[in-house]
C-alpha cells in the first residue's frame, strides 16, 4: 500500500488526531502533512488520488482541486442517481409516445381511399 489514511469520526478520541495520512517512501511510511485552515477544515493531500481529504464538522469529504468542487458523498450520489433515473424514465416514456404517434400516422397514411 503506497498510501494509508486514517480518520477518527470522534475528532481524535480514539486516535491521536481526526485525520492522518502516511506515504510509503523507499519502504518507510512518512507522515503526509495535514493541517487545519483558517476556516477550520482539516486538510491533507493524497498524491495517489490527486484529491484533498477534508475533515470538518465530523465529516470526511474528498475535494477535487482541479475542478474546485467536492466529490459527491453517499447521500448526494444517491440523490443524483434518483434524478438521473427519473429523467431517463421520462425520456423513455416520451420516446414510446413518439413511436406510437409515428406508427399511428404511418398506418393512417397507408389507408387506401
- For residue 105, the model assigns a pLDDT of 86
Same domain? For 24 and 66 the reply is yes
pLDDT band at 21 (very low <50, low <70, confident <90, very high): very high
Same domain? For 58 and 83 the reply is no
Domain that holds residue 97: 72-113
Task: Using the predicted structure, report yes or no on whether residue 35 has a pLDDT greater than 90.
Answer: yes
CA 83/CA 22 separation, integer angstroms: 38
- Mean pLDDT computed over every residue of the chain: 90
- Name which residue leads in pLDDT, 23 or 109: 23
- For residue 86, the model assigns a pLDDT of 93
Same domain? For 61 and 85 the reply is no
pLDDT band at 113 (very low <50, low <70, confident <90, very high): low
Beta bridge partners of 52: 45, 63
Same domain? For 10 and 55 the reply is yes
Rg over CA atoms, the chain:
26
Task: Using the predicted structure, report yes or no on whether residue 9 has a pLDDT greater than 70.
Answer: yes
Average pLDDT over residues 37-52: 95
Task: Write out the three cell numbers for 32.
Answer: 503526509
The structural domain count of the chain equals 2
Same domain? For 65 and 113 the reply is no
Contact residues for 37 (Cβ-Cβ < 8 A; gap 6+): 43
Instruction: Determine which helix (DSSP H) or strand (DSSP E) holds 113, and give its type and residue range.
Output: none
Amino acid at each position: 500500500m503506497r498510501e494509508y489514511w486514517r480518520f477518527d469520526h470522534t475528532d481524535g478520541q480514539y486516535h491521536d488526531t481526526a485525520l492522518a495520512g502516511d506515504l510509503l517512501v523507499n519502504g518507510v511510511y512518512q507522515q503526509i502533512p495535514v493541517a487545519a485552515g483558517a476556516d477550520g477544515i482539516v486538510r491533507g493531500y493524497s498524491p495517489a488520488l490527486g484529491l484533498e481529504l477534508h475533515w470538518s464538522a465530523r465529516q470526511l469529504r474528498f475535494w477535487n482541486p482541479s475542478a474546485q468542487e467536492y466529490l459527491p458523498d453517499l447521500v448526494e450520489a444517491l440523490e443524483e442517481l434518483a434524478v438521473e433515473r427519473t429523467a431517463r424514465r421520462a425520456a423513455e416514456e416520451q420516446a414510446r409516445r413518439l413511436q406510437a404517434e409515428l406508427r399511428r400516422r404511418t398506418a393512417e397514411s397507408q389507408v387506401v381511399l
